[in-house]
Each structure stands twice: as C-alpha cells, then as structure tokens.
Structure 1
C-alpha cells in the first residue's frame, strides 16, 4: 500500500491525520479504484489503533472517496462515466458563478499569484505536479469571490474526481489545451471581464469533461 506513514501515537487528532493521508493518496492516484483499505495495516503504518482509522474511513465515505463492499470491507470508490459527467456539469455551473463573482473583487495580489500559477503550470515538466498546479491556478482566481460555501462545494467535487483530472491532463494534448484555456481565463480576469471569464471557465470544464469521458470509454 503506497502511503507515507507517520508515527502519530501521541497526536491529538489522529483520525484527521490518517484521513488527510488517505485522502491525498486517493486523489493523487497512489491508491487505485477498488483497492482495499485494511484497517490493521493502516493502523500499523501510523502506529495507532484501529479506532481513528475507522473514523478516518468513515469521513472518506462521507466524501464519496471510499465505499464499503460486502466481503471486502472499505475500498477506494470507483466512479462511473455518468457520475463523472454529472460532476463536471455541476462544476461548470458553480465555478462559472464563483469566478463571475470574483472578477470584480479580485485583488492585484490574486491576479499576480494566478499569473505565477499559470507560468508554473506552463513550465513544469513533472506530470505529477500538473494536477496540483492546475487546482492552485483555479482556486487563486476563485478565492476573492466572497462565496465560501460555493468554494467548499467546489473543493469536495474536485476531491471526488481529482485523480481523473490528473489523468486527463496527461493525455496527448490535455496539458497544452489547459495552458491555452487557462491563459484566456486569466486575461479575461485581468481585464475585469466577468461575463467572459465565466463563459470561458464553463467551456474549459465542459471541454475537459468530454476529453476525460472519451479517455474512460477507450479504457
């Protein structure tokens, strides 16, 4: 099992730390769809009891990242193409609203950081870093929206499909396409064009959906 174990036997929030470690491993693809989460093994890796591990797995189930199967116990949840499509359609609606609200309130610092994120994404040669850089770029553009509830929903949706987004970026033209679309969104934000930024964001998300669904069908 690919995890980064930590000795947390004396840590107060043991369940939270196990949760974050498992969540990171799932969304980055280190734990694959259908892979069992054996409580004894995880407890041993983190030098703790099964109780916080069970709590962490329950939290992961609540986020849709883990499911319980008969005879197998807790496993990493897989995702059907129909659910992928629904999540992307939902993201297009919510993220379009969020960036529209953010543009008029966006600080110079946020625009500067977004430009830095875009340049880091464009120059990175490490495919394993692209997912984090992509997510950071979008969040930087959204953070001034004044819509914290919306942002929480966006983050939960991204957690559910993050490992698939990373795969989509590594497709033949996924990163190049994202680069061009990110630049257009960023320039619309810098120009204060909220309607255009929202429209470009929606089209960017729906285009990624189509690309990813095509990839899943081929697999």
Structure 2
C-alpha cells in the first residue's frame, strides 16, 4: 500500500531526527515543512501527529512543535517500554517460528556482522529485531514496536556521536537466536529483555 503524503513527510523528518540532522529542541514550522514537501498544511499537520505518536516530536503551548528531548529520563522510559513489549511479543512469536523465519533472522545477523558503517549496522539491527517478533501475529503490538524501534535508533545514533559507542550486540543476538532454535522461548525472551535494557548502559 502506497504511503500517504503525511506518512512520507513523517518518514523523512523521522529519519532526520533519528540521524541527528534535526537536534533535540529544534522547532518544526508547519508552513516551512508544507512548502518543502510541496504539500498543504493538512498533511504537514498529520505528519506532526504521527511523529508525536512515535515520541520524536513534542507540541508545547506557545512554542509550537519541536524535536523531542533526548534526556536520561526519556531514554530510560523508551528502553523500559520497549524491553517489556518486545519480550512479550517474542513469547508469542517464538512458538510460531519456522525455518523461513529463522532464515530471515540469520540474514539480518549476517548483514549486521558485515556492516561497514553505523548506518548499515543500525538498519540491520532494526531488521533483526523486527523479524524476531514478526511471527507473533499481533499487528497493533508490532506497530507499537516499530515506533519504539525508531526511538531506539535515535538513542543509538546519539550514543555514537557523543561517546564513539560501537555496535556490540552480535553475541547477544546470536545467543537469543540459539535459545529460540532450542525452543527455550522463555529464556530467549528474558535474554532479549536484558539485551534491550543494556542500551541504557551504552549511552
């Protein structure tokens, strides 16, 4: 299904926020966004609503729409919510995994290992986590996790810029996959929860 104008605007702005091109606190003017994307104010406003639901922007009285802050409290909240929901999704996804699911997960692992840049690694990391929970067959939960993963990517890029943090989760990812192959689903979910929570320490 083709994306709407509002979805396209939200996607492009979201990528800029995640990559740090738009810094925390930066104002987003509806008229300027509409002009840039050659759209009316309606899809621009809808795009802002989508970005708010993903935790990437905030609307403040008399200050308008701004890029959401990325402070320790915001990071902790994002990480804890994602850890809880993604591990929940995995408890449903694990028993439904077949060979094709595991093959897609393996491809994402290989892509992460072969990544030459942080951007390539982050994209592979996002695919890995998506494929890990895709078999849960809970579309609302998966949609929520997509939004949280976007916020997670923003945290990763921020940590990389500020502290030179390097990807170090290949081993954790492999251990989770090995547990799934052994049908140790509860153990895999616990490992995933702890792995996600480790992101706080990385920042």
TM bracket, shorter-chain basis = 0.7 to 0.9
Instruction: Establish whether residue 185 from structure 1 lines up as the match of residue 157 from structure 2.
Output: no
SS in 1 for 2:87: helix
What runs of 5+ residues in structure 1 fail to find an aligned partner?
1-10, 213-219
Structure 1 contact 104–192 (Cα < 8 Å) conserved: yes
Distance 1:68 1:86, change over 3 A: closer
1:52 is displaced (CA, Å) by 2.2
Q: For residue 107 of structure 1, what is the aligned residue in structure 2?
A: 98
Residue 68 of structure 1 and its aligned partner are, at CA, apart by: 2.6
Give me the whole-angstrom Cα distance separating, in 1, the residues matched to 2:88 and 2:10. 30
| Cα distance in 1 for residues equivalent to 2:191 and 2:123 | 21
Matching residue of 1:21: 12
CA RMSD of aligned residues (A): 2.3
| SS of residue paired to 2:35 | helix
Q: How many residues align?
A: 201
Q: CA separation in 2, counterparts of 1:90 and 1:52?
A: 29
TM score, norm. by length of structure 2: 0.87
Aligned to 2:42: 51
Change (3 A) 1:201 1:47: same
| Structure number having the greater helix percentage | 2
Query: What are the within-5 Å matches in structure 2 for residues 193-208 of structure 1?
Result: 193-208=184-199
User: Partners in 2 of 1:70 and 1:50 — Cα distance?
Assistant: 19
**Residue 147 of structure 2: SS of its match in structure 1?**
helix
- Tell me if 1:68 matches 2:46: no
Are the equivalent residues in 1 in contact too, given 2:80–2:197 (CA < 8 A)? yes
Deviation at 1:64, TM superposition (A): 2.5
User: Which digits, 9 at most, give the CA deviation of each residue in 1:83-103, with x for residues without a partner?
Assistant: 221221222222222212212
Q: Distance in 2 between matches of 1:94 and 1:189?
A: 18
Which residue is 2:25 aligned to? 34
User: Structure 1 length normalisation: TM-score?
Assistant: 0.81
Q: Where do 5+ consecutive residues of structure 2 fail to align?
A: none
For 1:32 and 1:87, locate their aligned partners in 2 and report how far apart those are by CA, in whole Å.
Answer: 18
CA distance in 2: counterparts of 1:52 and 1:92, whole angstroms: 32
Hey, what does 2:139 align to over in structure 1? 148
1:91-106 maps to which residues of 2 (within 5 A)? 91-106=82-97
